[in-house]
Structure 1
Amino acid sequence: MNMMASIAEPAEVGRYNGLERAAALMLALGEEHGAPIWRGLSLDEVKELSTCISSLGRVQSSSIEYLLRAFTSEVAGMRNLHGSFDSTERLLAAVLSPEQVKEIMEDIRGPAGRTMWDKLSNVSETVFAGYLKNEHPQTVAVIMQKLRHDHAARVLGELPIEMANDVVLRMLRMDTVQKDVIQQVEVTLRGEFMSNLARAQRVDPHDALAEVFNALDHTTEERMLRALDESAPESAERIRSLMFTFEDLGRLLPSAVQVIVRQCNKRELALALKGAPEDIKTLFLGVMSTRAAKLMRDDLAAMGPIRARDCEEAQGSLVRLAKSLGERGEIILADPKSDELMIY
């Protein structure tokens, strides 16, 4: 009887590709049982498999049980395993020479740990480019080669054009960079840039207050903003500029509005449009199918008078949905008539 026929494939395993399944198996086999397999792999295969193990993270015991097949009875009582840099290095040390282990782990981690490069690739390109403007173009060229390609492109776009061109030429002419050079660049970045990044990205209290005001009902929001107009007019103006309101939905691209319409509660949409300006109402109805738009117009006509508070709450729900979609990258909160994005 096929042992796997009686075991349903766990959902986690269904999400693994072939390499990830192999990585989980090698992690479970450990040093003793995995050694013959490691010795049969080429150096490139070892690098590829060990890189996958180092980023695998937590593996459920049910998935290990499924993947190991012949060792089901042994693995059934195991707790979760955890793939990490340390567990990868221990596995490699049991089957490869110290020099091979060092080479592979440096490819995976980077000389001083790849965590810093991961963090750099998540830093605002404007902030990072502002720092790099004061660095030598050769140093910047080394850094560009270590960043994710998409992030490097955005950083280059923020540099002065003459400097960006110089950096690109140096990247073209650059031979293999010595590891000690990369290590020195990492030390400098960690000491001069990363340590100051938290201070450079200190949260503006106006941003937080804009989020709070977005969540207020319209009457309370206006009352508090008017009070701020008297006591701190510059702050009130700053908060207004940062707030994303129902009226801002009218400046979205039709494709973004279409996503909102698909995912919103249709009852809330009708309530929101009942009190909406004509341009916003036209925009929302325009992205619907002919039948859906007719049904919505019929609903609006049959709705009769509604409480202003109900309309405001429904409009607030649409705004929160739009911001949530923007944060997930499903839509861009942008004015189609402007090149400036309003990213939240």
Structure 2
Amino acid sequence: MAGDIRKAAILLMSLPREQATQILTRLEPKQIEAVTIEIARLGLVTAEEQEQALREFTQASPAELTGGKGGLEVAKELIEQALGKAASATLEAVKQSIEALPFAFLQKVDSQNLLTFLIDEHPQTIALILSHLSPNQAAEIIRGLPPERQVAVIKRIATMGQTSPDIIHEVEKGLESRMASVMSQRFENAGGVPTVAEILNVIDRATERHILDALAQEDPELVDEIRRLMFVFEDITKLSDRDIQTILKHVENSQWAMALKGASDELKQKILKNMSSRAAALLQEEMEYLGPVRASNVEQVQQQIVDIIRRLEDAGEITVSTNQEEERLIV
């Protein structure tokens, strides 16, 4: 049920406001409240998560998905448009629900100020708090920690499962006394490898390499799992033509034919334009010959190619930048 509500929330925040409003007006008040609360909680949503949710509702083209953002303002706008004058009660319920999230007040606290409160805390405490922050805010805190504590915190986030309400409450009370903020808590899943991947995706490259290299000495399998989530197949569109050409030497045409069946048009063109005319024609023929294929088979081959890309990166043959900033080149 919770997963369905999240998918519905992603669908609504991805649609034009007019269409989203039309859908909301067909729901019962309690359903409107539930889905708009989820929209308010969403924060940033990746293009991949949009595609996964929308695939069940529509035939949307992945190439048109660029990610999006939820938040209380988006939820408020949709509620007001859908309910008009009757929106106030639902808006108040949404607001109260959001304010009840663990550590939600920290989203409005400057990261540097928060760092001064956290830098001397135990790594497990820091990990718990960062698991409830946005990836960008958590990345700023990680970056400000001493190198050895960065690794300790990241490892604890990655291995964290369900967290007891009593523990969350105790940590919140500690922050409450020092930051004069009071928040209630709720039982929820926190942390995990996806959280680590999101944090490291927005952290600077040097810090990312240090953390993963140090963590690999203790738990190489965990590092492999983190890396798999840090770079996804569609991220190939961000690579340079030179790197694409290097990758082409290590991936079979049959792999590309299967993997590109589920890719965006942008990625398909990126691969084809880096091939010779003959090789590109052969690849297109092989893709057409395959016909309909299982999504699981496509995803499996896409992951094989991602693994090859990661090995090439580790060997220094290509440069994979998962951050928004490109590394500065010195001529």
TM-score, normalized by length of structure 1? Answer: 0.32
In our comparison, the structure showing a higher alpha carbon Rg is 1
Greater relative CO, 1 or 2 (CA 8 Å, sep 6+): 2
